[in-house]
Amino acid sequence: MYSEHLFTHGEALWRSIGSAGGATVPADGCVDVILRDGRVEVAGPSTRWLATGRDGATGSFGFRMQPGRARLLLGIDLAAIADQLVPLDDVTDRRTAARLREAMIPLEAGPAPVGTLEAFAVQLAASSRWSDAIRRAASEAAPARDIASTMSGSERSFRRQMLVTFGYGYATLVRLERSRRARTLLRSGMPIADVAAEAGYADQPHLSREFRRLVGSSPAQFVSSAA
């Protein structure tokens, strides 16, 4: 059983109970802090689909941060942990690790206040003006050269800042945002061919290729599983 609580600005607290692992999770470019059997780990920004792990004795809990925001909390170059699951203590300073652990550990004991995690979410949203602007541009597939000149001064500086802040390049962010849009349209019942055009894919085969890499299934399989 999976459930999640969305905070006002897009971050989420999620819980999974009873999963034997192996479920497919689409790439979303997010970073998750995950608690399982007393261990707190960080799932780096995902750029390809992944299979979930087995839940702990009391379930698995996660604090999901929107693309481009986790660096503000963890203070690391996110490219170093892209598509990896690493211990929390390996990716941030002791003080931040202690604060996150203190916020997450009580969740295993049952219903607990989420005030600290919500405070983190508010802090991230308030400090992420640059990354949020980049995400909006990517959702519109704005050319990288135009965004670089407007937001970073040069393409080289922009590429470096993307890797540090998001953990991947701007082209990957465009693909992730396009995939997110396509999944929303497919869930709405829109025909697959129309989704390909509406979401900005070259054609339906292009949509299918991207889905197999980012979602782990074909568009038709995704629709069936979401039904």
Going by C-alpha positions, the residue among 26, 35, 50 that lies closest to residue 175 is 26
For residue 200, which of 148, 132, 147, 139 has the smallest C-alpha distance? 139
**pTM (2 d.p.):** 0.93
pLDDT digits (tens, 9 = 90+) for 152-190: 889 999 999 999 999 999 999 999 999 999 999 999 999
Which whole number is the average pLDDT over 58-70? 94
pLDDT tens for 24-36 read: 899 999 999 999 9
Per-residue pLDDT reduced to its tens digit, 90-129: 999 999 999 999 999 888 876 656 788 999 999 999 999 9
Q: What is the DSSP letter of 46?
A: P
Q: Work out the mean pLDDT of the chain and round it to a whole number.
A: 93
Burial of 189 (0-12, 13-18, 19+ CB in 10 A): exposed
